[in-house]
Structure 1
Amino acid sequence: MGGQLKNGADCLDKAWKRGCEFLGVDYAILGGAMSWVSERNLVAAISNAGGFGVIACGAMTPELLEAEIKGTQALTDKPFGVNLITMHPDLDRLVDVCLSLNVGHVVLAGGIPAKETIEKIRESTARVICFTPTLALGKKLVRSGADALVIEGMEAGGHIGPVSTSVLAQEVLPHITEVPIFVAGGIGRGEAIGSYLRMGASGCQLGTRFVCSFESIAHPDFKKAFIRANARDAVTTVQVDPMFPVIPVRALDNAGGQKFIETQHRVIAKYKAGEVDLETARLEIEHYWAGALRRAVIEGDVEYGSVMAGQSVGMVKKEQSIDEIMQELVAQARAYFAEHGD
């Protein structure tokens, strides 16, 4: 049995060697960038445990991001990355902050990054990681200079695309081999990591699994909601009328979600009655969730806040240390390879 497990460890080391070398880590497991959750404490803990923590910049100003990067550097000497939203109005300044503080990896998310942005980062010593929801865009991003890609399926928490992780992996992994690819969305156990590595991935990204760690600053009630939830409780935002598009977000079903449906019906009725114009109605619907994620994560309003969670939330059973979670994932991945080989 000991020899079999050692063989599993050797196979795992071989399978994610490319990802580990690219990130500069022991384990090619990235922490998903979750706004209000992926801050210095969680990011540093993931990196210190052998993985790759990623700061969620979100709507931070350049000054706040600078403080967050410095705070993370004070807690770890291990590599970590910064996730930037490409639609941020101060994107160029945020990139400058990352480069000036010698961040090794910049993750560009939330839209298609400009080739100029990719080139600017690559002219430094930093590496660029981009998200792609399709094979065609992935190929384009590689041609534009992306050093690595993340493919994230709809099982993930937060803002999602329409395609499942398993389908994306089959579509993309056999056809893009020039750069490392990390798979994300609905991953909660090491066996899943092992299966995607065998398909050609260089590593995986997990978010939901790390929320209920001791190191996470998420409110105790936010964590309790995760621990109580099943996979089917993590649902996507309901859109009432295609004239009033709603950005799809996966979160735990709660009173806030039900009220959002009621709000859409009320606002649409006002528009149809001629009481408001189309743009005003759309903005009212769009602004419903403003601040709702912070209310849930920081203040603990899990009834009306936005409790963003992936479908892997059903595998979150208790609060644990990041190190314990990481060792569980690695042990499961090793056992998978011990059974299935490389």
Structure 2
Amino acid sequence: MLPSHPLLAAASVRGRRFLGCELAFLGGAMTWVSERNLVTALGRAGAFGVLACGAMTPDRLDEEIQAVQALSDAPFGVNLIVMHPDLAQLVQVCLDRKVSHIVLAGGLPHKDTIQAIRQGGAKLICFAPTLALAKKLVRSGADALVIEGSEAGGHVGPVSTSVLAQEILPFVADVPVFVAGGIGHGEMIAAYLCMGAAGVQMGTRFAAAAESIAHPAFKQAFVRASARDAVTSVQIDPQFKVIPVRGLVNTGTERFAETQVEVIGRYRRGETSFEEASLQIERFWAGALRRAVVEGDVEQGSLMAGQSVGFVKAVEPVADILAELVAQTEAALARRAPAGALPAAAE
């Protein structure tokens, strides 16, 4: 059961109304991790679970959505990657199954995709990496935005969460804006709410939750890690682009840098083409996330994690993690409020 949180409820009323749940906390969509069990655990505990579609086929996504709906009647969202070749069919699956919120990630969505989602009755959440793109997405029809800084796990941009919050929050008021990246304590949740955020998104804190299906070895790697262990992948040569991915350092991380050196060396010596060399580098991590999450290969697999991994001290139930965050946030907001000015929860 969540502790009493009238200040948090009042500070996040816009986000709670938009999501339709008690807490304006979205669970970050993590491939292989954010599936039916974690999504429903977040919903039952009062937060908003987001199902990670990743590379699922439309049929597989349909199966997973139905599984979530069979386990809980709490609202939840589905995260779709805009580069997925079957994006239109995936959107239609969500609409057919009456998913209330669709999150588009991995790039700017096409106007046809936005139109299909809005006409289908779902609420659209988009990621905004800059103020200009945030305003463009709102004009295009986004119902809410997520701004995610470089402290987050997985594929990240170059700008920190705190800078993005300053850049965007004061200037985007038309839609709710949720802040993500490096959030692991209620003090930071309170700070962003006071800056005007409608709520927050967190992934890393829940990746090692008891309800997460991640391999025990994967979870223990999170428990042992500090914030400084979660680093971004290295690009050896500016000619060969590497999209930065933040994760825990392991043997695979070191091997990736070595592979780049080896492959680029063969290209420089004329032993392989630029296209083939680029493909070899790009394919290095293929299947690596599954190896870590599902198979427990924490040495060669990809341990995607945000810098908030330092706040993961044990494998705990989702409800306990949320209760701790709520208590911390309420205490932080109370310190910011005038004496005796504890507003009742706005509904």
State the TM-score bracket (shorter-chain normalisation): over 0.9
1:178-189 equivalences in 2 (<5 Å)? 178-189=174-185
- Out of 112, 123, 126, the residue aligned to residue 127 of structure 1 is 123
Q: 1: CA distance between counterparts of 2:6 and 2:75?
A: 23
Residue aligning to 2:224? 228
Residue aligning to 1:175? 171
Q: 2: CA distance between counterparts of 1:323 and 1:222?
A: 20
Q: 1: CA distance between counterparts of 2:205 and 2:7?
A: 24
Q: 2: CA distance between counterparts of 1:277 and 1:109?
A: 32
Q: 1: CA distance between counterparts of 2:92 and 2:72?
A: 21
Residue aligning to 1:339? 335
Residue aligning to 2:65? 69
AA paired with 1:254?
Answer: N
Residue 11 of structure 1 deviates from its aligned partner by 2.3
- Out of 6, 11, 22, the residue aligned to residue 10 of structure 1 is 6
1:209-228 equivalences in 2 (<5 Å)? 209-228=205-224
Task: Tell me the number of residue pairs that the alignment of Structure 1 and Structure 2 aligns.
Answer: 336
Residue 10 of structure 1 deviates from its aligned partner by 2.6
The TM-score, its normalising length taken from structure 2, stands at 0.96
Q: 2: CA distance between counterparts of 1:132 and 1:160?
A: 12
5+ residue gaps, structure 1: none
1:298 aligns with 2:294: yes
Q: 2: CA distance between counterparts of 1:229 and 1:158?
A: 16
1:270 aligns with 2:237: no
Residue 12 of structure 1 deviates from its aligned partner by 1.6
SS in structure 2 of the partner of residue 174 of structure 1: helix
Q: 2: CA distance between counterparts of 1:285 and 1:273?
A: 17
Cα deviation, 1:181-207, whole Å, max 9, x if unaligned, reads: 000000001111111000000000000
1:130-209 equivalences in 2 (<5 Å)? 130-209=126-205
Cα deviation, 1:190-229, whole Å, max 9, x if unaligned, reads: 1111110000000000000001111000000000100000
Residue aligning to 2:342? none
Residue aligning to 2:105? 109
- Out of 231, 237, 247, the residue aligned to residue 251 of structure 1 is 247
Give me the identity figure in percent: 64
Residue 90 of structure 1 deviates from its aligned partner by 0.2
Residue aligning to 1:45? 41
AA paired with 2:302?
Answer: S
- Out of 16, 21, 24, the residue aligned to residue 25 of structure 1 is 21
AA paired with 1:187?
Answer: I
5+ residue gaps, structure 2: 339-347
1:308 aligns with 2:304: yes
Q: 2: CA distance between counterparts of 1:165 and 1:327?
A: 24
AA paired with 1:49?
Answer: A
Q: 1: CA distance between counterparts of 2:63 and 2:187?
A: 37
AA paired with 2:39?
Answer: V
Q: 2: CA distance between counterparts of 1:224 and 1:182?
A: 29
Structure 1 stretches of at least 4 aligned residues deviating more than 4 Å after TM superposition: none
SS in structure 2 of the partner of residue 284 of structure 1: helix
The TM-score, its normalising length taken from structure 1, stands at 0.97
SS in structure 1 of the partner of residue 170 of structure 2: coil
- Out of 234, 238, 242, the residue aligned to residue 242 of structure 1 is 238
Q: 2: CA distance between counterparts of 1:168 and 1:79?
A: 28
Q: 1: CA distance between counterparts of 2:112 and 2:175?
A: 19
- Out of 329, 333, 340, the residue aligned to residue 325 of structure 2 is 329
SS in structure 2 of the partner of residue 59 of structure 1: coil
AA paired with 1:157?
Answer: G
Cα deviation, 1:53-84, whole Å, max 9, x if unaligned, reads: 00000000000000000011111100000000
Residue aligning to 2:341? none
Q: 1: CA distance between counterparts of 2:229 and 2:74?
A: 35
